[in-house]
């Protein structure tokens, strides 16, 4: 999905108008809706600092806005090819059906640990399926990754510290 489509998706998800989002990110009232419309239509591409500003105002990670174009089958397949080149993602078969899997035995130092991410993703998806979190909480985790993941880790560490401190008292 192109960046303009992602901006529109998250803008609509938050219930913002083009003018409202434009003003939040610093455009004048007169041009706010035009600038956002241009980004969404793909006639203008926001610079990196604007992507960060928009992401902050939409409460998502900049990475959630700036994803590769995977709307076409060829775009998606070439994205998967690139992921295979960079990580331990492999094409395989499972019960006679083609599938993607992460090879836990093949990883190189400094290479993105796809298996760890997939395991975390599966944990959050299971929490959603089991009713432990809402769809909104699950989407928030996905759309703010990795920032949300870091915050969850900090929150868990704070809770452990408080628990340890109360036991020592």
The 3-state secondary structure of the chain, one letter per residue: CCHHHHHHHHHHHHCCCHHHHHHHCCCCCCCHHHHHHHHHHCCCCCCHHHHHHHHHHHCCCHHHHCCCCCCCHHHHHHHHHHHHHHCCEEEEEECCEEEEEECCCCCCCCCCCHHHHHHHHHHHHHHHHCCCCCHHHHHHHHHCCCHHHHHHHHHHHHHHHHHHHHHHC
- Domain ranges, ordered by start, for the chain: 3-65, 73-104, 115-168
Which tens digit of pLDDT belongs to each residue from 119-152? Answer: 889 999 999 999 999 999 999 999 998 887 777 7
Is pLDDT at 111 greater than 70 in this prediction? no
pTM of the model: 0.66
Give residue 115's pLDDT band: very low, low, confident or very high (50, 70, 90): confident
Is pLDDT at 159 greater than 60 in this prediction? yes
The correct CATH number of 3-65 out of 1.10.1060.10, 3.20.20.150, 3.50.50.60, 1.10.260.40 is: 1.10.260.40
* pLDDT at residue 41, as a whole number: 95
Q: What percent of the chain has pLDDT over 90?
A: 51
């Amino acid at each position: 999905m192109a960046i303009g489509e992602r901006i529109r998706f998250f803008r609509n998800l938050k219930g913002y108008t083009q003018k409202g989002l434009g003003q939040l990110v610093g455009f004048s009232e007169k041009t706010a809706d035009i600038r956002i419309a241009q980004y969404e239509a793909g006639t203008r591409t926001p610079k990196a600092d604007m992507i960060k500003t928009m992401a902050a105002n939409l409460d998502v990670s900049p990475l959630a806005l700036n994803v590769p174009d995977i709307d076409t089958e060829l775009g998606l397949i070439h994205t998967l090819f690139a992921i295979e080149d960079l990580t331990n993602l492999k094409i395989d078969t499972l019960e006679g059906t083609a599938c993607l899997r992460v090879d836990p035995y093949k990883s190189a130092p400094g290479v993105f640990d796809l298996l760890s991410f997939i395991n975390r993703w599966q944990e959050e998806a299971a929490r959603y399926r089991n009713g432990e979190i809402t769809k909104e909480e699950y989407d928030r985790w996905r759309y703010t990754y990795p920032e949300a993941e870091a915050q969850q880790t900090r929150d868990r560490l704070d809770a452990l510290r408080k628990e340890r401190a109360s036991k020592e008292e």
